[in-house]
Amino acid sequence: MRKAFIAIAAAAVLSASAYAKDSSDLALALGTVLGSEEFCGLHYDQAAIQSFITKRVSADDMDFPPLLESMTTGTEVGNRSKSNSAKTAHCAQIARIAKSYGFTH
């Protein structure tokens, strides 16, 4: 019984930690998703992006915007040199992430 409880608790912690990133990790991940919107032919719900930020980023976090901007721009530049296969793989996962974030339906 104790082993089952430990396994369940560990799974809950892992799933929560995968979603609850610190601000800089979130800016890096979100910048990749946002910087790939046009490249992958996606169209994000702007209200969903705003809600996502409001829920996950502290109102006084001044480091988040410039890091997000750098990552978004860097992703856009990096996407220009992807091969077709790399684009396919990249966009397949970006679409899944965007949907999990609620940006697409």
Looking at the domain assignment, is residue 10 inside a domain? no
Q: What is the pTM of this model?
A: 0.78
Residue 14 falls within a domain, yes or no? Answer: no
- pLDDT for residue 19: 44
Give the domain extent around 85: 22-101
Per-residue pLDDT, averaged over 80-103, amounts to 98
CA distance 47 to 49: 5
pLDDT of residue 20: 40
Does any domain span residue 3? no
Q: Is residue 8 part of a domain?
A: no
Confirm whether 71 is domain-assigned.
Answer: yes
User: Is position 32 within any domain?
Assistant: yes
Q: How confident is the model at residue 91, as a pLDDT?
A: 98
Residue 21: what pLDDT? 60
Number of domains in the chain: 1
Cα 40 from chain centroid (whole Å)? 15
Rounded Cα distance between 28 and 70, Å, is: 9
Question: What is the percentage of the chain residues whose pLDDT exceeds 70?
Answer: 80
**3-state SS track over 35-60:** CCCCCCCCCCCHHHHHHHHHHHCCCC
Quick one: angle between helices 23-34 and 64-79, nearest 10?
A: 40
